[in-house]
Structure 1
């Protein structure tokens, strides 16, 4: 007779978290490509921010109206970290950098840095102690990212803006990940609060600096509405919230290491960026690193 071990039952309970994390990284890769594309239009970072957070703020209005803009049980510091880390500050600095950075390099410097930043915060601030498998996984992620980054540097297409702003964005997102985990909010509540506060701040920015949305063709607005508003602003935020709640902050963030691979492939298909043997090797190494760092390969069936 085959006995199902407790680890298998645990794996089943973590399935929504794994699904949410995978959905998130696929959307992130799409977001990188769409944002790169927007650099050739009249849309500025403020315009994209209005699109990104306007739709989820509207759709999730019943949620944030119920919780209030300043929920009593959520410390202001945690809420501020969440809004900055996954909202207005994160969006503005990363979008600015993405406009001048190849998609494959964005995946490395932003998505690839997220699990490392999340793990570092977890170890230093919260006393997390990753086991040997997770350390090995993180090391594999570093190796995969190093390959992609070396290739990106060799192309001479990356400026200091990319090297400073994108890793800083990864650090902001890692901070949000841990703050949300400790906020006590649900994925819907967290996504709603981040969306409404970020939209309000973008409205203020638009009032001071203006907007060019009315000068852009409807086809381009539609593309960004789908990518920024529906997918990134709404679907990915909720999916990632589910992943953090189910897997924990560091493990959920580890899935973002797949973003460089997806961004490189997407850049090759849609933006005519190179994809060769070394990119494929980096994809395999990084994928194994993700599997190890999230504990997927540690589950066993005992007979």
Structure 2
């Protein structure tokens, strides 16, 4: 009688549970970013919750986090604060307002490996394998297919895709900063949230960014949803859960599972936001997700078939690999 394979260990089960929570939050981020455009609240209102609530939740650890931040390099701190902070949030919100939740969920995480690979090659001269280059080409083709689905004379669809690509570029800066930082996830989250909250608060008080929340508008269920998803989910849970998933499953496996988040976004966007899935968006999205999976999955090597000449040959440098720590802004350590 055939066996079903060894059972999952407790650590693997914990890792899978943490990764499932992470994917759910990443998908919720894309859906809530798109929902801002159709809600009665402004991006500044949601940004206040996105960056303010994590500081409130993490308040007991703030003194320790601030002490650790002093020892980090300024360039790394800037990469974290800009790449996942207010600039990223506002660019992502602008792209979501011009496109759809599906595009937010596909274009931003899908473009990050392309941008990270290009930045690493330009800054440090690193290279990636031929397999990864083919996968990155597939991501580019998929995004081009998606961008061409817009129709209409306004070109808002193409413009929205371009803005989301800019968000992917900004997030890539955060990814590089996250790989270089010596900070723990809580300290990195403080670096992201504290300056962003101060800036959005000052911009809202001075009228630079309109805010209904600071103007005294009544709290609605919509606002509570944004608080739960953006403030607690994205700001706290995703970063910590992704860190646990990487520790228990390993970065390649966690990144591979995380690449499935656009599928969840596309499925949920239809009943929750009433979005229509264009056939070309589906084709482009499938191509992007498949290419991201191919980028991260490592080929299995059979030790038995390796000849002594090949076994003793010098090994090439490790290929470049990148995946956003969270499509939404949490912090995690590799």
- Tell me the residue number matched to 1:171: 169
Match of 1:275 in 2: 277
User: Shift of the alpha carbon at 1:114?
Assistant: 1.8
The corresponding residue for 1:4 is none
Q: What is the root-mean-square deviation in Å for CA atoms of aligned residues?
A: 3.4
Q: 1:62 to 1:302 in 2, by over 3 A?
A: farther
Secondary structure of 2:148's aligned partner: helix
Contact 1:177 1:244 in 2 (8 A): no
Partner Cα separation in structure 2 for residue 110 and residue 36 of structure 1: 13
Deviations 1:37-60 (A, max 9, x none): 222233111111111111111112
The 1:262–1:143 alpha-carbon spacing in structure 2 relative to 1, beyond 3 Å, is: farther
Change (3 A) 1:289 1:19: farther
The answer as to whether partners of 1:14 and 1:247 remain within 8 angstroms in 2 is: no
Counterparts of 1:97 and 1:84 in 2: how far apart (Å)? Answer: 17
Pair 1:256–1:141, CA change in 2 (3 A): farther
| 1:235-270 superposed Cα distances (whole Å, 9 cap, x missing partner) | 22334556788639xx98887765544433332232
Q: 8 Å contact 1:264–1:279 — kept in the other structure?
A: no
Q: Which residue of 2 aligns with 1:184?
A: 182
The Cα shift of 1:293 comes to 0.7
Asked whether 1:119 is paired with 2:117, we answer yes
Greater Rg, structure 1 or structure 2? Answer: 2
In 2, Cα distance between equivalents of 1:128 and 1:302: 27
- SS state of the match for residue 240, structure 2? helix
For the structure 1 residues 37 and 134, does the alpha-carbon distance in structure 2 shift closer, same or farther, using more than 3 Å as the test? same
Distance change (3 Å), C-alpha of 1:126 and 1:236: farther
Q: Taking structure 2 as the reference length, what is the TM-score of the superposition?
A: 0.73
Tell me which residue corresponds to 1:142: 140
Structure 1, 99-108 or 19-28: larger mean CA deviation: 19-28
Q: What residue number does 1:7 align with?
A: none
Matched position secondary structure for 1:299:
coil
Give the alignment of 1:224-239 within 5 angstroms: 224-239=226-241
In structure 1, what is the Cα distance between the partners aligned to 2:137 and 2:256? 12
CA distance change for structure 1 residues 69 and 165 in 2, over 3 Å: closer, same or farther?
farther
Give the structure 1 partner of residue 211 of structure 2. 211
For residues 146 and 163 of structure 1, do their structure 2 counterparts lie closer, same or farther at Cα, with a shift above 3 Å needed? closer
Q: Which residue of 1 aligns with 2:99?
A: 101
Question: How far has the Cα of 1:281 moved from its partner?
Answer: 3.7
Counterpart in the other structure of 1:154? 151
Whether the 8 Å contact between 2:95 and 2:163 is mirrored in structure 1 is: yes
Q: Report the count of equivalent residues.
A: 288
Give the TM-score normalised by the residue count of structure 1: 0.79
Q: Select which of 60, 63, 74 maps to 1:62.
A: 60
| Distance (whole Å) between structure 2 residues aligned to residue 111 and residue 118 of structure 1 | 11
Q: Distance in 2 between matches of 1:61 and 1:102?
A: 35
Alpha-carbon deviation of 1:70?
7.3
Q: 1:120 to 1:171 in 2, by over 3 A?
A: same
Distance in 2 (CA, whole Å) between partners of 1:43 and 1:124 is 40
Q: Is the 8 A contact 1:255 1:290 kept in 2?
A: no
1:160-215 deviations in Å (ceiling 9; x for gaps): 75244322221111001101211111222211221222222222222212531232
Deviation of 1:302 (Å): 5.8
Quick check: 233-242 or 171-180, which moved more?
233-242
1:80 Cα offset (Å): 1.4
Distance 1:95 1:285, change over 3 A: closer
More helix by share: 1
C-alpha separation in 2, matches of 1:126 and 1:105: 31
